[in-house]
Structure 1
């Protein structure tokens, strides 16, 4: 398998670098001669080590990164100039990982998403596609502002320093980023166009200012969008309990696109282009529901005048007979009116901000009662005709429906809980049952019946009817009396984009007492953030823009009179809602991007975390649909623009969990210094000697399980780290990061490199492997036994190569199964090392393997390619990704022998090599053919033609897997 040292000394077929390295080490034992930069001490091949030299993967990374930079090989992996001719043809690919927030330190989650993106980009480049893979920075936001306040420096200085650090970290990952297209959200040349986007929306009525009850974060001192408040009513970032305030704020009218946002999710779901989990989350957040708006007439006591009726939206009109109370949100107009004269009500309202959103507390309005609209019909049961109490309850959402719900404790979980809290001794009216048999039966209902079913005896004339049909009939009946109407409602609310903080894009609006809100003229953009060094050095809180007179004072663009500049900044999700489009034309000073450059869009493959399913991804879809309706986007009409989508395919990678060590005595997380790892398989607590509990959890400082990817790369090399990252788990799964397991990857790369160096010593023959096969195939009939054995070895290896090409190509296309590529290539490497095939076939197989590996381990592949083919240039610029050559299904690669496992009474008693059965042979014919072939074989004659395992006496025989297994009962 390996060339002799003597052959290497002749340097035949060996690269000059390797030749020099060999002579430099072999001339004297102390290694004082010139040494190849990838050689370590004691690295010359010997029979005992079976190794030419221990490859230094870090040195290879540095070597090839420098070559890519010098030869501009890396930029050839991306499309640098957008032209109509170039971007309007098939074969262009836009691959994009979600751009990072510049915290100053990349973590393993970053490494995972950027490795996946680079692998996908390099794969498409090798296939001949023109690939765009840009990088930028999501550089605005509260974290930078808060970090600046803590350190007494400007957030711009903090952010730019972090960007410089993270660029260095990205550089050592062997990525192929197109830095010529770099964008930074906090730079004026970017946020100028974010402001233009705002004004385009404003001109179309899609950006507007309105007073509304908003979510206010008391820690970060800013307003939050609904999407930024979690299910517990806490801020997505600070964790603070969110307060409700009435403020005048800026909104984007996402509701104008709600039908398109919902409709097109079905298109994104086709072919699993987007994960089902993301599709489901967006559908739930859009929250379209059809139902009825029902009027409940009001009985007011004591001269209170709150109107004639309270309107309630319901998706379950079939439960109207079961309404036992009405509940209002704290923000309902009736509540606000009554609170002005009811001190107890106001005191109750003051307690609500501190309560969880699912609290079942309630305030009974003493002066109001409601009437069920069905009460006006003669055949309605008396229980339904009784007046209804009205409560103020925090579990009622003020921004959904009309801020009022009809309480049906028999058929709604929340209503049931509320009723049991306030009326534990009163019966619950069940107006639906699962079947007609149950509709007349009395049960001790401990939990509500929430499904559709059959109307019960409490439903008057509707008893026995199917509930859905009965509900529709009730709505029509009430509609005739002007007490109900069919409607649809959405959970989605317009996007609140105002933020009362400094570090964001200034809103380009000037407020004039005479002219109102006036857009800043295009020629005056960008509205730049002023520098306020005294704010950061003084550790002040709040928004410095509000008190900065030179920023606030402005002239009205319309009347030229005195006016004031808007001091709010935009939600940073505005930046990320369109940045992917800016990469198409990042240096355009006048437009967000040109119509010509827009032909790069949309993104073909977008890669990022599932946590962005609602916020970023929903906003980006909204903005892209809007942009498609403008002259900026080529190829869309007014009719088709609403169907535009920014990301054709979405890949959501799993999180990376780190190994944690836990003290079994107290559950405390142990620091590395507190764990004895002298036996890695049995970690001990240093203080007690007890066995430490090992678990994989989300990385955090408190768990002492964080891993610095740059330190890991410095230790093992970028390519080994990339391969290890991909090999450990499918892309969509959680990755349990275990450093110890990288040794399998480094051993594999070393063994492959040994094979490359050994083969480089033999001359490279012209032609393709298929040509060699065809030539030899013509002589099979006249080959000697030795030649046939060689033919078998050659074809077996090439079969493995062809199958690997098919499997690996499928995995690259799928993306989610990149882990199987590494295992497939390891398998092919093992086959190469054990194969007795001719060196020509091994060379072709190794060249193919190198190209298959190149997207994952680019520097290592470049090195292997240069050793195998020193005159051909870069593997990325001079080759194409391997495709099957058509030999796999041909007669050439049909094996002359195939193994057949002989199973007797359930146990394998031997494996016999037999000729493959004729094509199309099945059933009894196949069975008889295989029996004859087994008995004619040498092993068959020795073991299966008499004695204990005499197949001639078998009671039954079954051929399995086309004869690869024969099962006998003897």
Structure 2
């Protein structure tokens, strides 16, 4: 390559990038300082990957590039940065691979972890690899078990019967997402509901705090906070007690947020799983039909029963319930749209004031009784009235505003002993049992003499055994004699181990704390070290993890705070959900044949090109549609920057002093200061990485168009500062160019450029000159000129005079700094 007759070294990322990656590794360039300094701390964290056999995908590249940009930017701005990485390495895919490939999940997973780590290194990510954590290693899951025992000691871990999705062919429990249209995702067998002894964590004990503390996180998107609130589903209302007439009077508790509509109840509906249903239908006409319906509903996923477009199906049990205030007997139905997991598994039917109840009553000819009417006018016919109003047909509460009646009727129920004010949650305790091999074993043994016995902490870890059978049937852990049969820690007698492993969400609920002290062999982490770094200052990952993973991590942090292990009450001060990567408008997937391999892009163009395209192509929280042309464009831009440095490196090395003489020099200096400010704001505050890249591109354009005879010092400064601004975005090429410019230390160790506010003040501004609303001219006026001066200067210009010749000026409108509109006829 030549430049004006001289040889220019070619940009070859395939040579530059491995070189600098090796230098960074040998020098431990990104190792986290162990000593506390007076510099502010910054904890940058991207969600760690699952080590699948497919390696990294473009969603990973987008996530890591953004997190790395922020970490590098903060380091250059003087922060003491921790930027760790690991692998979320337990899970069902590894177990399936063992079954399909005839390999051990450990071997398969560790190989994938090595591969992904190599791919992350090729991206030039500034991780502190000394803090690497793999959740499937005994060094890590020993303390996952330690934390389970802590929860158990605090009364937050317990075992009870629980309904699970059971595949009769695979002989195993399935998570909800592994049930597709009521069938096992692996063998296509019809999934059944089965009651099994399961381990749970009492996350509901923290429900109120999990809702209330969302208000303490102003840097979380409101959308994400709303998703969390909706999942927890806190509802204030009343628990109402209906009774079933008979010799042994049974009670049915119903939770409602609308006790003001209690007098409008014309029926009750129970979930098919409700324990009273069996008793109510026994010996009744149509009993077998109802039983068949119940069996069918028990095996239906929630969305197939409660969706707005799902037909409501119900059966009359033939039983009656007595209304707590009127004494009226109303029919008890069982229906598909009521779930045992929500409220009490029973709802009161108020068809006049609930749309779902109205449709059900219309379908089955049930009475509809109005108890709330508008304060003015009449309620619309043929639909439920759900707005505010006054009570009617409500006994002593007639005429009361329905909002006031909510509390008044709840108080009356409490006085009568027929209900009480209460709070209900959609959230249920966290079922953590998984009948899987490749997961963290639950450290519990069962002894005929001592019962349920926790494994002492000093005997941890309970390791995942090797002598298991992988045949796709049942839980492989039950096939390991050496694992199942053990001795009781309490009495020394024969005992059997718990063969369930923990939900893998457990592993990712505390990994960010382990990063603060990853080599501790006595406890999960030292509180002093955790307090040095927590909470995470910037956490970035997919929006698909914005509910469960974040909720469970918040729960764990609160429990550990209560246990005195960490001062933080929330794990992530700032959560940033990034958008998906698409190809041709669709999410990348093998089935669609639209997957783009990150490593193929890096092999061809280099990691810096891949990073730059990812950061520039779309706003970070928006969807990014992959473009081969966009990748080519990013590569051309880096080549252009490379040539710029090659052209001017001798000038920069000579260190000329900027004189700021001449219009062109002042303008380039202003553009540079403007760019520094914008990039600083866009990366540090606004997190708009694409517009930051755009600003740097405009600066490069200004450098290329700078006259050859203008102030050389201003040009040298602009070239050098441009490389510093690019450094967090494209770390390899900037490291190389920085050395080309004569520097011996790393570009990533340099302080971030600061801008001169005075240089941003314009001496002159260009204003559009409109005549009768149409732009006819551009005028340059002093930046601080008032309206009168602008008007007189513009009207005095020969061009404007010629445009107004023969016309009478009627009005002049001046918008300072933007335009002047002359109205004339």
Q: Distance in 1 between matches of 2:657 and 2:199?
A: 66
For the structure 1 residues 597 and 266, does the alpha-carbon distance in structure 2 shift closer, same or farther, using more than 3 Å as the test? same
Q: 1:898 to 1:509 in 2, by over 3 A?
A: same
The aligned residue for residue 44 of structure 2 is: 95
2:391 matched to 1:484? no
Please state how far the C-alpha of 1:144 moved relative to its aligned partner: 0.9
**How many aligned residue pairs are there?**
810
Determine which of 74, 78, 95 is the counterpart of 1:124. 74
- Name the structure 2 match of 1:692: none
> Is residue 2:760 matched to residue 1:904?
no
**Which residue of the partner structure matches residue 378 of structure 2?**
438
Is 1:294–1:483's contact at 8 Å kept on the other side of the alignment?
A: yes
Q: Is residue 960–residue 966 contact of structure 1 (8 Å, CA) maintained in 2? A: yes
1:138–1:729 CA distance, 2 compared to 1 (3 A): same
Q: Which runs of 4+ in 1 moved over 6 A?
A: 229-241
CA contact (8 A) 2:13 2:606 kept: yes
Distance of 2:8 and 2:534 partners within structure 1: 48
Is 1:281 the counterpart of 2:227 in the alignment?
yes
- CA offset at residue 815 of structure 1? 5.6
CA distance in 1, matches of 2:340, 2:611: 49
* Cα-to-partner distance string for 1:490-515 (whole Å, 9 max, x where unaligned): 11111111111111001101111221
Structure 2 equivalent of residue 27 of structure 1:
none
In the alignment, is residue 824 of structure 1 matched against residue 695 of structure 2? yes
The question of 1:428 aligning with 2:332 is answered no
The structure with the larger Rg is 1
Q: Distance in 1 between matches of 2:186 and 2:408?
A: 47
* Deviation at residue 432 of structure 1 after TM alignment: 1.9
Cα distance change, pair 245–133 in 1 and its aligned pair in 2 (3 A): same
Counterpart among 792, 811, 815 of residue 960 in structure 1:
815
Q: What SS does the corresponding residue of 1:900 show, helix, strand or coil?
A: strand
Separation in 2, partners of 1:215, 1:756 = 62
User: Structure 1 CA distance, aligned partners of 2:640 and 2:447?
Assistant: 74
* 251, 260, 263: which one aligns with 2:200: 251
Show CA shifts across 1:588-617 (max 9, x none). 111101122212222111111111122111
Structure 2 residue 603 is matched with structure 1 residue 714:
yes
User: 1:216: Cα distance to partner?
Assistant: 4.0
Three-state SS of the structure 2 residue aligned to 1:761 is helix
Whole-angstrom CA distance in 1 between matches of 2:225 and 2:185: 21
Q: Give the equivalent residue in structure 2 for 1:580.
A: 512
Q: Counterparts of 1:165-204 in structure 2 under 5 Å?
A: 165-204=115-154
CA shift, 1:838, in A, is 1.7
Distance 2:819 2:112 in 1: 62
Matched, 1:703 2:583: no
Q: 1:436 and 1:900, CA in 2 relative to 1: closer, same or farther beyond 3 A? A: closer
Structure 1: gaps (5+ residues): 1-42, 377-384, 660-695, 774-789
Q: Which residue in the other structure is 2:403 paired with?
A: 468
Q: 1:353-404 CA deviation, whole Å, 9 max, x = no partner?
A: 34432352222212x211222214xxxxxxxx3x211112232121222211
Closer, same or farther: CA 370–916 of 1 in aligned 2, 3 Å: closer
Displacement, 1:959? 1.6
Q: Deviations over 1:709-745 (max 9, x none)?
A: 1101111111111111111111110111111122222
- In the alignment, structure 2 segments of 5+ residues that lack a partner are none
Q: Are the counterparts in 2 of residues 436 and 454 from structure 1 also a CA contact under 8 Å?
A: no
Distance 2:437 2:613 in 1: 42
Match of 1:334 in 2: 276
Structure 1 equivalent of residue 292 of structure 2? 347
Is 2:3 the partner of 1:45? yes
* Counterpart in the other structure of 2:539: 606
Contact in 1 for aligned 2:85/2:131 (Cα 8 Å) = yes
TM superposition shift of 1:94: 1.0
- The corresponding residue for 1:297 is 243
> Is 1:357 matched with 2:305?
yes
SS at structure 2 position matched to 1:76: coil
Which residue is equivalent to 1:32?
none
Task: Look up the SS of the partner of 1:564 in the other structure.
Answer: strand
1:626 paired with 2:559, answer yes
The aligned counterpart of 1:79 is: 32
Q: Secondary structure at the match of 2:358?
A: helix
Aligned equivalents of 1:647, 1:631: Cα separation in 2: 18
| Residue pair 1:794, 1:838 contacting (<8 A) in 2 also | yes
* Structure-2 change in CA distance of 1:454 and 1:234 (3 Å): farther
Q: Would the aligned equivalents of 1:232 and 1:357 in 2 still touch at CA under 8 Å?
A: no
CA distance 1:916–1:249, change in 2 (3 Å): closer
Are 1:732 and 2:621 matched, yes or no? yes
Q: Which of 823-832 and 908-917 deviates more?
A: 908-917
Change (3 A) 1:281 1:225: farther
Are residues 713 and 754 of structure 1, via their aligned partners in 2, closer, same or farther at CA, if it must alter by over 3 Å?
Answer: same
57, 69, 76: which one aligns with 2:13: 57
Shift of 1:330: 2.2
Give the Cα–Cα distance (whole angstroms) in 1 for the partners of residues 296 and 744 of structure 2.
76
In structure 1, distance between residues paired with 2:25 and 2:355: 63
Show the counterpart of 1:510. Answer: 445
2:450 maps to 1:590: no
Contact map agreement 1:195 1:505 (CA 8 A) in 2: yes
**In structure 2, C-alpha distance between the alignment counterparts of 1:220 and 1:816, rounded to whole Å:** 47
Distance in 1 (alpha carbons) for counterparts of 2:476 and 2:211: 40
Q: Is the 8 A contact 2:540 2:578 kept in 1?
A: yes
Q: Which residue of 1 aligns with 2:731?
A: 858
Cα deviation, residue 217, structure 1: 5.7
Asked if the contact 1:229/1:242 (under 8 Å) is kept, the reply is no
1:749 is matched with which residue?
A: 638
1:226-278 per-position Cα deviation (integer Å, ceiling 9, x unaligned)? 8x68998888999987643221111111112112111101111x2xx111111
Q: Which residue of 1 aligns with 2:108?
A: 158
Query: Contact between 2:165 and 2:191, CA under 8 Å: does it hold in 1?
Result: yes
Q: CA deviation at 1:430?
A: 2.4
Cα distance in structure 2, aligned partners of 1:234 and 1:430 = 43
Give the structure 1 partner of residue 665 of structure 2.
Answer: 794
The answer to whether 1:142 aligns with 2:92 is: yes
Partners in 1 of 2:577 and 2:663 — Cα distance?
44
Residues 532 and 767 (structure 1 numbering): CA distance in 2 closer, same or farther, change over 3 Å?
same
2:62 maps to 112
CA contact (8 A) 2:620 2:687 kept: yes
For 1:761 and 1:527, how far apart are their aligned partners in 2? 63
Shift of the alpha carbon at 1:77? Answer: 3.1
Report the Cα offset of residue 953 of structure 1.
4.2
Whether the 8 Å contact between 2:539 and 2:576 is mirrored in structure 1 is yes
Distance 1:189 1:493, change over 3 A: same
Aligned twin of 1:265: 214
Cα distance, 1:950–1:241 mapped onto 2, change above 3 Å: farther
TM-score normalised by structure 2 residue count: 0.93
Matched, 1:322 2:260: no
1:810 aligns with one of 669, 674, 681: 681
Q: Does 1:645 align with 2:570?
A: yes
**Partners of 1:504 and 1:763 in 2: CA distance:** 57
- Give the 3 Å change call, closer, same or farther, for CA 221–699 of structure 1 in structure 2: farther
Closer, same or farther: CA 137–815 of 1 in aligned 2, 3 Å: farther
Secondary structure, aligned partner of 2:550: helix
1:430 & 1:501 partners in 2: Cα distance? Answer: 53
SS where residue 466 of structure 2 aligns? coil
Aligned partners of 1:142 and 1:503 also within 8 Å: yes
Task: Check the 8 A contact 2:31/2:130 in 1, yes or no.
Answer: no
8 Å CA contact 1:532–1:544 kept in 2: the answer is no
Cα distance 1:764–1:46, how it changes in 2: closer, same or farther (>3 A)?
A: closer
- Could you say what secondary structure the match of 1:541 adopts? coil
Distance 2:157 2:225 in 1: 26
Task: Find the aligned partners of 2:371 and 2:33 in 1 and give their Cα distance.
Answer: 67
Superposed, 1:768-787 pairs within 5 Å as 769=658, 772-773=659-660
For residues 834-913 of structure 1, the aligned pairs below 5 Å read 834-836=705-707, 837-868=710-741, 870-877=742-749, 879-888=750-759, 894-895=762-763, 897-913=764-780
Cα displacement (A) at 1:417: 2.4
Distance in 1 separating the partners of 2:751 and 2:133: 31
Partner Cα distance (2:498, 2:612) in 1:
50
**Secondary structure of the residue that 2:243 maps to in structure 1?**
strand
- Summarize the Cα distance change of 1:749–1:94 in structure 2 as closer, same or farther, 3 Å threshold: same
